[in-house]
A = this chain, B = another copy of it.
Amino acid sequence: MPTETFMKLSEEKKNKILVAAKKEFTRVPFEQTSIKNIVEDAEIARGSFYQYFTSKEDLLQYMMKDDKEKLDNFIKDKLKETHGDVFEAYLAIYDFITQKMGEDKDLAFYKRLIENAKVVEDESSMLRIPKDLKGPFQQEEFLKLIDVSKLQIQDEEELHIVIQMLYLVTRKALVNNFKYQSTEKARKEYLKMIDYLKNGVLK
C-alpha cells in the first residue's frame, strides 16, 4: 500500500504517476517494467517514488485494488442472484472481465494483468494476482453463499478443489480471450470446459 505521503499528494500529481505507471505496466510483462521509466514519465525524482511506494509490486497492487473490490462485490451479488450456483458465478466473472473491463482503452492493461498471473503464488516478491482473483472464494463469507446440494461435494476440502479447478479454467479462458483475435472462440471453449467440469468427460 502507498504511504500517507502519497495519499496527501494533489490529485493532479497522483494521477500523473498513476498514468505513467499504467503506461509502463502495459508496455511489457511485469518483470521487464522499470521504476526508472515510471519516474521519468511522471517527472518525479527517483527518491520520491520510494517515498510513495515500497516497490513496483506495491504500486501495481494498489492500482488493482479498485478492480478487485468491484469484482468482489459483483461476485457476491451474482451468487445471491443465482442462489449459489458457482458455475454461473464464474461465467459471470468471465463476462464481467472480458466485457465490462474490455470496453475501454485499458484493455491492454488488463491483458497484462492476466498475463502477469503466476502459476505459483507464494514466492516472496511475487505478484498476488491469482490469489486476488481466486481470493473471494477462499473466504468463509463467499463459501457460505455457494449451494452445494446439487454437487458431489462431501466436505469443505472438496469444495476448495472444485473452486480451484474452476479458477484454473477461468484464468486459462481469460488468457485465451486476450490471445485469440476471436472473443467468441475463447468463450465457446470456456463454456465447453465448464460443461466438462459439470458433467464429466466420460460417456
List residues of A whose CB falls within 8 A of some B CB: 29, 31-32, 114-115, 117-120, 122-123, 125-126, 130, 150-153, 158, 161-162, 164-165, 168-169, 171-172, 175, 179, 189, 192-193, 196-203
The count of identical subunits is 2
Cβ 8 A contact of A199, one of B126, B130, B172, B200: B200
A202, B196: Cβ atoms closer than 8 Å: no
Q: Evaluate contact between B120 and A119: CB separation under 8 angstroms.
A: no
CB A181 to nearest CB in B, in angstroms, measures 13
Residue numbers in B under 8 Å from A153 (CB-CB): 201
With both beta carbons as reference points, the residue of chain B lying nearest to A157 in the complex is identified as B189
State the 6 A-B residue pairs at the shortest beta-carbon distance, nearest first. Answer: A200-B200, A199-B200, A168-B168, A115-B120, A31-B31, A117-B119
With the chains together, A197 CA to B200 CA distance in Å? 5
What's the nearest-Cβ distance from chain B to residue A4, in Å? 31
